[in-house]
Chains A and B, each alone.
Chain A
Amino acid sequence: MKKQYLLFIVAAGLLTFFSACKNESGYKTLIITGQNNHNWKASSPVLKQILDETGLFSTEITITPDKGGDMKTFDPDFSKYKLVVIDYNGDSWSEKTNKAFVEYVRNGGGVVLYHAADNSFPSWKEYNEMSGLGGWGDRNQKDGPYVYYKNNQLVTDTSAGNGGSHGKRREFLVRTRITDHPITRGLPVAWLHGTDELYSQLRGPAKNMQIIATAFADSAAGGGTMRDEPILMTIGFGKGRIFHTTMGHADEGGGPSMHCAGFITTLQRGAEWAVTGEVTQKVPWDFPSAAGVVFRPDFKEMTLDEAFDNIGNYEIAKSTKYLSCIQSHIRTLAGDEAGMLKIEKMMVKVLKSTQTTVEAKKLLLRELSRIGSDYSVPAIKNLESNAELKDEAEFALSRLSTK
């Protein structure tokens, strides 16, 4: 008894130790929020969850005084952090805090500017250099050019006019403009983003700025500029790196823009890049494409085990994401025999289950025809006499016997 108890204590201690390690080893990150024309109470915890999900960051949220409050009391010690995420659009910070922040970035601190953060601080010169482009707040030609793509050409447009607009919220197609940037490497060149504001007509100093992704603001949705507007940007400021995403307009709980796997992934990758200049995260299997928006209900990437837990319930007209997850996993195995056999065994297990739907079995038989081995054959043969599955079973057996 005593021995077991002791083991328990040791195990619990180790767990605490490891989870502490994870936090300790994560890049210390500060999300600044508290004032915004947007729902910061909804967005900031989602941003924290998205970043912490990677295991790379340990994130705190700091909340500024309310609008009109005493901003002198907002005095974070930036030097403690590797990354500062700005989810803030409100009163000016104190002179001291501004200075400390500029110092932090100059010395190599990472920054993520999120959505309406590029509306903030229209008269703070250094902040506008960090954001590259901004909107609203009486921004106009005095603040710098409009920058966008037109007919696949980068345009710097100094014409007079207000900065910042967006049409009606809608899904839009994000187009990667720099495919070999660490943030975008391996991502599709085009992907559909969940319903969001498509920030347009941003203008600013645009110094040391790269536009890595744009979205076409068509006029069909109302208020479109008919330009490919910058959506993801990187900016260099001193030794610091800034990742600027205009996406992510928050509803309660995050809403479609923040649940979009494309928003989540680019934020995670952009944040890592802002800290290190590199991205070590793998492209998730569920990154969206031009085929359609992909939402993550819990902001997490589905695992292979979860896919196998759910595939057996498949019915026509239901989600195909569990199958897609399995297929994607097979592609990444690149023919690795041990890995393929493991997947094959998982498939056969679901195939044999009496709980598995006929439609799910049909899907699995098709997959087994591609990756199966002798291991699958008895289970498939069993289904040959099943009127509903005969065709698929014959299909699989025929292919498995192809020499």
Chain B
Amino acid sequence: MANKSSRRDFVKRSATLIAGTFILPEIIPSSAFGIGRGTAPSDRIVIGSIGVGSQGMSNMSDFLKLKDTVQFVAACDVDKIHLAKAKATVDLANKNTDCRTYDDYREFLEKEKLDAVSIALPDHWHGIIYSSAANKKINVYGEKPICRTIKDGQSIVNSVKMNNIIWQTGSWQRSLANFHRGAELAINGRAGKIKYIEVGLPDGNKGIGTPPVIPVPAELNWEMWLGPALKVPYRGVSHWDWRWILDYSGGQLTDWAGHHIDIANWGAGLEHTGPVEISGAGVYPVEGIFNVPVEYDFLCKYANGIEMRVANASRLPLGMGTTWHGDLGWVHVDRGDIISASDPKILNEVIGENEIHLYKSENHWQNFVDCVHTGKPAIAPVEVAYRAISVALLGEIAMTTGQTIKWDPDKEEIIGNPVASRLLSRPYRQPWTLPTV
């Protein structure tokens, strides 16, 4: 692993500079500070990945397409097979064998001098690793949902803000034309004043029953995969399927909140607040290791009178996607370039110069890279992502407790319900703790 990359030397020097123990180099590699202060656009940002399973590899491939602006240098995963595939992919793209690999994110963050990191992990790891990366002042492209608990989310938001890094959430629907257009029509009142929003997320799936304990595959560091979660024996469920187990995810609800709830908030001006009251019910499996709700249906009331219903798609008239209902009609958006409205004329409306023009991006990954260069906030910033997943996490608490939850979106606290408030966080297994800024 001889280091012949002058780029890497350059980053290394700048990193030393940050540490304050070195004399000024000729060039200040601004992107390494987090926010760009005049980096030449031709400079490629140095990036690595933590978590190179399915979504991590998908993001990697999107970043590798941006060859002129990105240099991929390292990958980290607790699964050796993932890691080998990641290295092979990066090396192929870079036409060399230089991609470095790590099985421990701490070593990865310590040794690699990165401008940016792309992180795609099971949700129970997000709190610790997003915060740790931010605390290293590395810009983060982080997968949604950004947290498993409200407390994790607060820590991440705080770390990102305090370290002044660029954050992009993997809520890539924001960078697609139909979602942007739908949100812009909604927020500019083309369906009238928004009163009610429906958000349809996927139905749950069939479980796998109650599998027995089996040997951990040789390639997998199960202890590290579990990390802060309670220790359980390996039963054949890790990659991908973690999202059907409550220790690691909230199921389709939390998996998709960062998409369609995020879009709903965008078009309704709710990006920086949260509901004040949440109530609803879920349908939980009777049998099996998978224990996330397979159906869910809850209503959120906002201080400004807007109501948002979040449910699995089969329960809603328009199914998947986001529908903003105003007093004049509705606008609906979904994947597959879908945009529709109560009156087709709405879709031809022009947004005037003095109206609200939402942030425009045509490539979610490019947008992140551009922002790392320019220091401009990315299209899916951290607090916005936190507010989107908060809706789902509060819905989860309402469904789990069977109670109507009162929420203070400014103080970010549940009001008058200490038992339900416990569910805002989840104790970590020793020795793991949330890093402090």
**Which of A's residues lie within 8 Å of B, judged by CB?**
175, 179, 188-190, 192, 261, 286, 288-292, 294, 316-321, 324, 327-328, 330-335, 340, 366, 369-371, 391-392, 394-395, 398-400, 402-403
Contacts and interface: CB of A to CB of B under 8 A. Distances in A.
Contacts of A403: 418
Contact of B420 (A261, A292, A330, A335): A335
Given A321-B286, A324-B287, A327-B284, A395 B429 contact: yes
A166 to B, nearest CB: 22
Given A335-B401, A395-B230, A192 B422 contact: no
A290 B210 contact: no
Interface in B102-120: none
Q: Most chain-A CB neighbours within 10 Å: which of B210, B212, B422?
A: B422
Given A290-B204, A402-B421, A179 B295 contact: no
A270 B209 CA distance: 30
A291 B401 contact: no
Interface in B380-404: 399-403
B288 to A, nearest CB: 6
B233 interface: yes
Given A319-B210, A399-B427, 12 more contacts: A188-B294, A188-B295, A189-B315, A289-B204, A289-B285, A292-B288, A316-B233, A319-B287, A320-B287, A331-B401, A335-B403, A395-B429
Nearest to A365: B230
| Chain B facing A: main interface SS | loop
Contact of A317 (B206, B212, B231): B212
B402 A391 contact: no
Given A175-B314, A369-B422, A291 B206 contact: yes
B213 interface: yes
A192 B283 CA distance: 13
A261 B285 CA distance: 13
Contacts of B276: none
Contacts of A192: 206
A332 B213 CA distance: 32
B294 A291 contact: yes
Contacts of A371: 419
Interface string B111-146: 000000000000000000000000000000000000
30 contacts: A188-B294, A189-B203, A290-B205, A291-B285, A291-B287, A291-B288, A291-B290, A291-B294, A292-B288, A294-B286, A294-B287, A316-B210, A316-B235, A317-B210, A317-B235, A319-B287, A320-B289, A320-B291, A324-B286, A331-B399, A332-B402, A334-B402, A334-B403, A335-B420, A369-B427, A370-B422, A391-B429, A395-B427, A398-B427, A402-B425
A159 B165 CA distance: 65
A37 to B, nearest CB: 31
Top 9 nearest A-B pairs (CB, nearest first) are A291-B285, A398-B427, A331-B402, A334-B402, A317-B212, A188-B283, A189-B314, A291-B207, A335-B403
A392 B230 contact: yes
B417 interface: yes
Nearest to B297: A189
B204 A291 contact: yes
A332 to B, nearest CB: 6
Contacts, number: 125
B430 interface: yes
A400 B422 contact: yes
A288 B285 CA distance: 7
B211 interface: yes
B177 interface: no
A324 B402 CA distance: 14
Nearest to B417: A335
Contact of B401 (A288, A316, A319, A334): A334
A331 B396 CA distance: 12
A152 to B, nearest CB: 8
A261 B283 CA distance: 15
B423 interface: yes
Contacts of A294: 286-287
Interface string B408-437: 000000000111111101110110000000
Residue among A286, A328, A332, A402 facing the most chain B CB atoms (10 A cut-off): A402
A190 B287 contact: no
Given A190-B203, A369-B422, A290 B286 contact: no
A351 B286 CA distance: 22
A334 B419 CA distance: 11
Interface string B256-287: 00000000000000000000000001011111
Contact of B211 (A190, A317, A334, A399): A317
